[in-house]
Amino acid sequence: MRKQITVEEAIKKGHLIVNAPVFIVIIGCPAFAMYLSVQYSIPSWGIGAGFLIGFLFAWLIWSFMITKWRIWAFENVRNVHELKKRAIQEKLIWNDGNIFEKTEIRTAKDKIKLKILEKKFEQKDKFREDYSLPPKTEIYHSKVDCYVNLIVSILIIGVGIYLFSKGGIKLYILSIITIGIGIYSTIKELRKVLDTKPILIIDSKGIQTKNLAFKNWSTIKSEEVVQEGFGNSAKAYLTFYYDEDKFEQTAIDSLNITQRELENIIRTYRIRNNKNNR
C-alpha cells in the first residue's frame, strides 16, 4: 500500500524541486552576466541579456517541473482540495484558467495522468481532530503587531513635526498630511491595544466574531480561511455563510494566529460538533 504524503510535505518538496531551481536561475544568470562584464568587459547589453535569459530559462524550468510535481503530489496526497488551495497560496501553481497556468509543459502522457487524477477531487478531504485544542478557543489582536504598528505611527507623527519645523508652504502641507496619517494610525492601533475582547470565539457549538453574534454550526456552511491578493498586498480572512445566504468575513492578519492554525481550529471544532450530534 502506498504511503500517503501530507500536504505540508508535498508543499515543501514543491518549493525544493520547483521554486528553488527557478530562484537560482533567475538570480544566477544576471549575476554571471555581471561577472563577465567585470572580468571580460562584455558589452553592457550583455547584462540585460542575462536578465532576459534568466527569466526565460527560469520560466521554462517552472513550466516543466511544476507538471512533474503536480502529478506526484496529487497522486500521493489524500486531501487534494487542501493541497491545491495551499499550492496556490504558496505561489507554486496558478488558479484554474489563469493564463500562466496554460504555460505549463504537459506531454500527452502527463495530460492523461492529470485527467485521471481529477477523479480524486470528487471525494471530500478527510481531516483528523486535534485533541490538543481546548474546549473553547478565543482569538485576539496580536499585541506584538499592535505595539510595532503603534511605534511606527508615533514615528510618522514625529516625521510630520520635523517637516513642520523646517518651514515652507510645501513642507507645511506635507507635514499636516503626515501628522494626520500618523494620528489616525495611532488611534487605530491604540484601540486594538486597549481592546480586551476576543475577535473570534470558536468551540464545538459554533462561532462568534467581533461583528456577529454566536452562530451554531448547524447554521454555518462553507467555512474556510481564504487569502486574497498576492505578495505584500495579500490579505487572509475567515469566511463562512450562515442562516442560509448571509455571509461573514473576518480579517485575521492582525490576530494572534496563523492561517494554518485557524484552519486546524475550525476543522477540529466542526468534527467535535459532528461527533456530538451523532
Range from 222-226, 229-233, 265-269 that averages highest in pLDDT: 265-269
Distance separating alpha carbons of residues 156 and 180, to the nearest angstrom: 9
Q: Residue 86: is its pLDDT beyond 80? A: yes
Distance separating alpha carbons of residues 182 and 172, to the nearest angstrom: 15
Alpha helices in the chain (DSSP H): 7-14, 20-40, 45-76, 80-89, 108-117, 143-165, 169-194, 259-276
DSSP summary character for residue 243 = T
**Are the C-beta atoms of 63 and 92 separated by less than 8 Å?**
no
Task: Name the pLDDT band for 44 (thresholds 50, 70, 90).
Answer: confident
Region of poorest pLDDT, from 89-103, 132-146, 260-274: 89-103
H or E element at residue 11: helix 7-14
Q: What is the mean pLDDT of residues 245-250?
A: 93
Residue type at position 26: I
Predicted pLDDT at 1: 47
pLDDT tens figures, 154-213: 999 999 998 888 877 878 888 999 999 999 999 999 998 898 899 999 999 999 999 899
Q: Please choose, from the candidates 17, 15, 22, 48, the residue with its C-alpha nearest in 3D space to the C-alpha of residue 33.
A: 48
Which grid cell is 107? 506531454
Q: What is the mean pLDDT of residues 38-65?
A: 88
H or E element at residue 209: strand 206-209
- Parallel/antiparallel/unpaired status of strands 246-251 and 235-242: antiparallel
**Are the C-beta atoms of 154 and 189 separated by less than 8 Å?**
no
Q: Which residue has the higher pLDDT, 12 or 36?
A: 12
Q: Residue 47: is its pLDDT beyond 90? A: no
Torsion-angle region of 222 (φ positive above 0: left; ψ -120 to 50: alpha; else: beta):
left
Q: Residue 232: is its pLDDT beyond 70? A: no
Q: The whole model's pTM is what?
A: 0.76
Which grid cell is 258? 496563523
Q: Residue 215: is its pLDDT beyond 90? A: yes
Q: What is the mean pLDDT of residues 211-216?
A: 94
Task: Name the pLDDT band for 91 (thresholds 50, 70, 90).
Answer: confident
Q: Residue 269: is its pLDDT beyond 50? A: yes
Task: Name the pLDDT band for 278 (thresholds 50, 70, 90).
Answer: confident
Phi and psi, residue 128, nearest 5°: -110, 150
Predicted pLDDT at 231: 65
Q: What is the mean pLDDT of residues 241-269?
A: 93
Predicted pLDDT at 270: 95
